[in-house]
């Protein structure tokens, strides 16, 4: 009788188990890659290429969602105000840290889980090929002659490129005027139109723009390859303190997503960062493919945050 009872209990448990819902596996639906730039911009291209490489390693579907505006604040606010379910993956860059610099900022660095940094892109000074002011020496001579009236262009006042410009002026012993635009694209158009002498950006910004060239880059040594290897560094031109100014690029999610979702992202991003096709794409843009996460990435973010806080103070006291 006891054996029959145990058998009945076992059958009931098996029946109940067959009707209980299976444990959810992440992801069950498409994931949004939220990009703070317009379609066609560097971030948009980055996200779509990540999607293409990721398809080698997962069946998960990604949808690029463009939410431009306010230097990334629109996209970051969308991420932070959403559910911590892991279905919104934010494309982030060093420039975004400016949004956390104000003590009264509505969003905080700790609202995000900074998953991984995938690209280290050296800062560079870009000029027109047809301009009589193309080399670093010519830029310095012209700036001194204009006594602070030389125009430098780039995206956003107080952003990463603006900070780079001010560091460069200090290192070179010159003064100039920063002219901010809504985007890097708009700033480069104005440079090509003769409305500035220098654009502060990254080596790959000249790709597809035959009228522009890199005058100098911030890197410990010259980049590799026939194209990028021709660009001199600040160091070899005798300028100190500008060896490792970079624009980093990576991904973040809202703090508190399920551990299963976080593990999915870390595993996938690890595979993509090691993919030869991905690495070639980054290197072809004149940047370094890297994979920094957790303490290493967060430590870099904290240092960047200090720079942006100081830049904000500078702008307010002008």
Peptide bond into 27 cis (omega under 30): yes
pLDDT confidence of residue 19: 44
What mean pLDDT comes out for the span 246-273? 97
15: pLDDT strictly greater than 80: no
Q: Which two tokens stand for residue 256?
A: 């508190």
Token pair for residue 234? Answer: 């600040």
pLDDT single digits (tens) 278-318: 999 999 999 999 999 999 999 999 999 998 898 888 777 75
For residue 20, the SS3 value is coil
- Tokens representing residue 311 in the block: 């830049």
Q: Measured between alpha carbons, how far is 311 from 70 in angstroms, rounded to an integer?
A: 17
The pLDDT of residue 18: 46
- Which domains does the chain possess? 31-120+247-316 (3.40.190.150), 124-230 (3.40.190.10)
Q: Is there a contact between 100 and 302 (Cβ–Cβ < 8 Å)? A: no
pLDDT at 2 over 90: no
% the chain with pLDDT above 90:
77
Give the whole-angstrom CA distance, residue 197 versus residue 223.
24
Q: How far is CA 42 from the centre of its chain?
A: 9
- The pTM assigned to this predicted structure is 0.83
């Amino acid at each position: 009788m006891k054996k029959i009872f145990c058998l009945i209990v076992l059958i009931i448990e098996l029946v109940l188990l067959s009707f209980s819902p299976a444990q959810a596996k992440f992801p069950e639906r498409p994931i949004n890659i939220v990009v703070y730039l317009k379609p066609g911009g560097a971030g948009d291209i980055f996200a779509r290429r990540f999607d293409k490489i990721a398809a080698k390693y997962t069946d998960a579907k990604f949808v690029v969602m463009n939410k431009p505006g306010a230097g990334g604040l629109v996209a970051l606010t969308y991420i932070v105000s959403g559910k911590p379910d892991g279905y919104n993956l934010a494309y982030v860059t060093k420039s975004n840290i400016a949004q956390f610099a104000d003590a009264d900022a509505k969003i905080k660095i700790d609202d995000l889980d900074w998953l991984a940094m995938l690209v280290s892109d050296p800062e560079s000074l870009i000029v027109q090929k047809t301009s009589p002011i193309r080399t670093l020496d010519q830029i310095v001579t012209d700036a001194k002659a204009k006594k602070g009236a030389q125009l430098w262009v780039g995206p956003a006042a107080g952003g990463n490129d603006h900070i780079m410009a001010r560091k460069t002026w200090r290192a070179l012993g010159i003064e100039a005027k920063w002219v901010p635009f809504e985007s890097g694209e708009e700033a480069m158009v104005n440079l090509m139109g003769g409305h500035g002498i220098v654009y502060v950006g990254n080596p790959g910004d000249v790709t597809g723009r035959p009228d522009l060239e890199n005058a100098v880059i911030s890197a410990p040594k010259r980049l590799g390859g026939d194209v990028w290897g021709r660009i001199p560094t600040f160091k070899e031109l005798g300028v100190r303190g500008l060896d490792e100014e970079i624009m980093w690029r990576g991904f973040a999610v809202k703090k508190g997503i399920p551990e299963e979702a976080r593990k999915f992202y870390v595993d996938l991003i690890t595979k993509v960062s090691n993919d030869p096709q991905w690495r070639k794409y980054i290197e072809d843009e004149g940047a370094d493919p890297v994979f920094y996460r957790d303490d290493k990435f967060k430590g870099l973010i904290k240092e960047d945050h200090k720079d942006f806080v100081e830049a904000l103070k500078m702008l307010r006291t002008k």
